Structure 1
C-alpha cells in the first residue's frame, strides 16, 4: 500500500486558495504543490485596480526566469507540471470589479481569471455575503452572472457567500461549485463555515470543499 507521501508525489496537487502578493514560490516547491488558486486582486479592488493587479501577475508569468505559468484550461495543469512551472489559477474573492456590467466578465475571462467568488462577506450587486444579517439570496444580476460564468467556464466559489445566496447558486449552476476555504459549521460555528446541507450540495454539484486551516 502506498504511503501518504507517495500518493502526494504522484498526485496533481492544487492549493484551493492562496494569497501570494509577491510571487514567492519557496514554500510551494517544498510542499510539492503543482498549482494554486491565487487571489490576484484585493477583496475591495475596483475595475481599474483589478486590471492593474492582473497585469502584474501576467508580467510575472512572462518574465524569462519565471516559475509561474497561467492556467487557462485543465490540460494546462499537466503542461505546467511537465515544464517544472507552478500553475497560476487566477481567482477573485469578490466580484466588485464587475459592478453591474456583466460584459466585463468576457474581458476578465480573456485575461485568464478562472475562479470567482460572487460576494465577499457583505452585500454587492450579485447577492449577499456570509456576514449579512439578512441574506436575501442572489439578485437578478447575480442569477445572470451565474449563467454567464457557467457559459465562460469560470468556476464559482461560495466560501464567503451567504447561505441563501449559496443555495441559489447551487440550485442554478449547471457546473460544479467550489467552497475553496471553509470548515464544517457543525464543528465550528462561524459565519464563513458551511452547514452540512451546503457541504453535501457542493459535493453533489461535482465540486470540491477545501478545508481552511
Structure 2
C-alpha cells in the first residue's frame, strides 16, 4: 500500500507541475507587468513550480526528473500553441498571432525553468550534504590512519627493544658459556697437572 502511495505521489507532482504550467495560459496576458498584483500571482506560480521541481528531484533523481520536466515543458508549450491557434478569440490572439504564441510559450518555459531551478537547488544541497558526509568519513579515516601509524611505530619500537634485549641476553649467555668453558678447561688442566704430579710422585723408587 505504501509503495502504491509513493508511486501515486511520484506521478501526481509532475502532473501538478503540468497543470500549473498549462493554467498560466488562462491568466491575463498582461501579468508580465510589474505592478504588485501581477508580481504576486507569478511569484506564487513560480514558488509552486519550484517546489514541484524540488520534489521531482528528490523522488525521481536529477537525470530522470530532468527528462520528465523537459517533457512537461515541451508538452505544455505544444498544447498551448495548439489551443491558442484554434481558440484565438478566447485568448484574444486574432492579431499578432506569432507574438502571442511566443508570449504564451515563454510563460510555460519560465515556469519550467523555475522547476529546473528547484531541481538544481535540491541537487546542490544533496551533493553538499554528501560532500560533508564524505569529508567527515575522510577525516575519520585520516585520524584512524594516524592512530594506526602511531600504533605501528610503537609496536616497531617495542619489537626493536625486545630484539635488542634478546641480543643482549644472547651475548650475556654466550659470554657466560665462554667463561664457564674457560673455567672448566682451566680446572681440567689443573686437575691433569695435579694427577701427573701425583703419578710422578708414586712412580719414584723408594
TM bracket (short chain)? under 0.3
Q: Which structure dedicates a bigger proportion of its chain to helix?
A: 2
Choose between structure 1 and 2 for higher RCO, CA contacts under 8 A separated by at least 6 residues: 2
TM-score, with length taken from structure 1: 0.25
Q: Which structure dedicates a bigger proportion of its chain to strand?
A: 1
TM-score, with length taken from structure 2: 0.26
